[in-house]
Amino acid sequence: MFCYVQTGAVSGMRCDAIRVEVDCSSGLPCFQMVGYLGSEVREARERVKVALKNSGHPLPAANLNVNLAPASIRKSGTSYDLPIAVGILAALGKLSQEDLSDTLFIGELGLDGDLRGVRGILPITEDAASRGIRRIILPLTNVTESSLVPGIEVIGASCLSEVYEYLSASPEERSGIISPAGTFDIESYLNSAESEAPDFSDVHGQDTVKRAAMVAAAGFHHMLMIGPPGSGKTMIAKRMPSILPKLTPKEALDVTSIYSVAGLLKDGKPLISSRPYVAPHHTITEQALAGGGSIPRPGVISLAHRGVLFLDELTEFDRSTLDIMRQPLEDKKIHIVRSFGSYTYPADFMLVAACNPCPCGYYPDMNKCRCTPTQVNRYLNRVSGPLLDRIDICCDVEAIDLCDSDIRNKPDPLSSCVMRERITAARERQAYRFKGKQISFNSEMSVKDIESMCRLGSAGELLFRSANETLGLSARSYHRILRVARTIADLEDSDEIRENHLAEAIFYRTSGSRYWGK
């Protein structure tokens, strides 16, 4: 008897519809599986065989053939166990094909028949709902994650026996065996979620850096902080998520899908409710940063999607590892090509980096710094020019004088709440400006957008001409300065880019020139 079962698989962030075809016939007893299978899927044969036996359905002496179609797609992971087992039960005549219609099955089986959770459930459920599948049956541990998707009935089971009992019962009896999960209220969950990031009110002094951070967050610009050890660079970076507006429901689902595919969702927290903050160590490998592996998974830059990627001690990272980010910083996604397929992951993150100005950390304070010019240049040149050119805002972080009573006793430091209100207002101006376009932030403006939305007055043109003659700005620098100036104008609730907005943007762009000379 022939039957088929529907399931799904994740390839990068793309989902493929997989059809598990099972044929049971008389002949020499065997259990064969085909369909471009990875090692985990080939092992499913033994898991399914024992799980069926321990669930009260031992395999008869028959010729069983299982095909995972289409055969052109490589199958990996353990999520095919449940659909294969259900397909075998149907091929043996214990379930009808009608019981399996409009239903997607997914889950890993233990040898005792228990159902275990798998990764990538959210994007698979979204894809199933978009294809008109009415119901999904999956492990209990994945139920809440799957219920984030409206328009599909979610059935969670603890074991194979429970799935068989549910499918073999009449439609009227099924609700008494397993009740469908309710739809998850995403908006209420996001509104009630509290930010996990520390507050900017803890940062005393460093008003210039806090201002730069606010500009960076408002326009989603990349930012670099340069200063001596202990000046507060890491402290400021950790607070960046606290001034970013809350995730929208769509953004939350996008980020959660990435963490679902990576298998990093925490128990009891099916939805990522706050902006990601990822801070890898400087020993990170190229593959860990970009993603990939024998079973491709998102890398660190994808885990920072819609959030902050903080690279502390930027100059200590391997140069070739850093240069991997040059393309994702422009395209907002990363492509990984392997011999058995091509994978694409989103990578729309805000880069915040920090570094010391020299190996000892105290240049250009020659009272403390003992580094030679050659050592300083070698140290700073670990970061390539093309990567620096993609960073819009560069600022010095001066050491704090703890003896300064004005800093220690300064009342009411600028809090994250106050900063976020101003940033949210600036982003609302951007949302109105870019309505109907495929961009959301000033940092994403194309050259054509800049020409139409970043016009300068005569004073601004004169200032820019003077800055260009003095600094020798590149075309990319010209456009990035205008993007930042547009963000500063939005923060000041101004429709026009004034001379002071442009001057501040030029300052942020050229602050690193005394270190890198560009």
Query: How many domains, the chain?
Result: 2
Q: What percent of the chain has pLDDT over 90?
A: 64
Confidence of residue 407 (pLDDT cuts 50, 70, 90): low
CATH number of the domain within which 405 lies? 3.40.50.300
Q: Is the pLDDT of residue 385 over 90?
A: no
Is residue 108 within 8 Å of 78, Cβ to Cβ? Answer: yes
Let me know whether 246 and 371 are in one domain: yes
Name residue 5's beta-bridge partners: 20
Note whether residue 513 is domain-resident: no
Per-residue model confidence as pLDDT tens digits over 224-241: 999 999 889 999 999 999
Let me know whether 236 and 123 are in one domain: no
Let me know whether 11 and 91 are in one domain: yes
Is residue 6 within 8 Å of 19, Cβ to Cβ? Answer: yes
Chain-centroid distance of CA 242 in Å reads 17
Note whether residue 441 is domain-resident: no
Which tokens hold the place of 506?
């030029």
Per-residue model confidence as pLDDT tens digits over 301-311: 999 999 999 99
Let me know whether 39 and 107 are in one domain: yes
Q: Is the pLDDT of residue 262 over 70?
A: yes
Let me know whether 134 and 216 are in one domain: no
Q: Which residues form the domain of 353?
A: 192-436
Note whether residue 470 is domain-resident: no
Q: What pLDDT, on the 0 to 100 scale, is given for residue 51?
A: 96
Q: Among 436, 464, 481, give the residue marking a domain's end.
A: 436
Q: Is the pLDDT of residue 8 over 90?
A: yes
Let me know whether 258 and 403 are in one domain: yes
Strands (E), 347-386: 350-355
Let me know whether 87 and 138 are in one domain: yes
Note whether residue 444 is domain-resident: no
Q: Is the pLDDT of residue 331 over 80?
A: yes
Let me know whether 385 and 246 are in one domain: yes
Confidence of residue 48 (pLDDT cuts 50, 70, 90): very high
Note whether residue 483 is domain-resident: no
Q: Whole-prediction pTM value?
A: 0.90
CA distances from 99 to 154, 166, 169, 272, 331 (A): 16, 10, 9, 35, 45
Q: Among 417, 436, 455, give the residue marking a domain's end.
A: 436
CATH number of the domain within which 17 lies? 3.30.230.10
Q: Which segment of 115-119, 182-186, 236-240 scores lowest on mean pLDDT?
A: 182-186
Let me know whether 212 and 290 are in one domain: yes
Q: Among 131, 163, 184, give the residue marking a domain's end.
A: 184
Note whether residue 450 is domain-resident: no
Q: Is the pLDDT of residue 471 over 80?
A: no
Q: Is the pLDDT of residue 513 over 90?
A: no
Note whether residue 367 is domain-resident: yes
Is residue 13 within 8 Å of 123, Cβ to Cβ? Answer: yes
Averaged pLDDT of the chain: 90
Let me know whether 128 and 12 are in one domain: yes
Torsion 262-265-271-276 (CA) sign: negative
Let me know whether 172 and 203 are in one domain: no
Per-residue model confidence as pLDDT tens digits over 335-382: 888 777 788 999 999 999 999 999 998 887 888 888 988 998 899 989
Note whether residue 432 is domain-resident: yes
| Other residues' Cβ atoms within 10 Å of the Cβ of residue 73 | 17
Let me know whether 307 and 287 are in one domain: yes
List the end-to-end C-alpha distance of the chain, in Å, as a whole number. 73
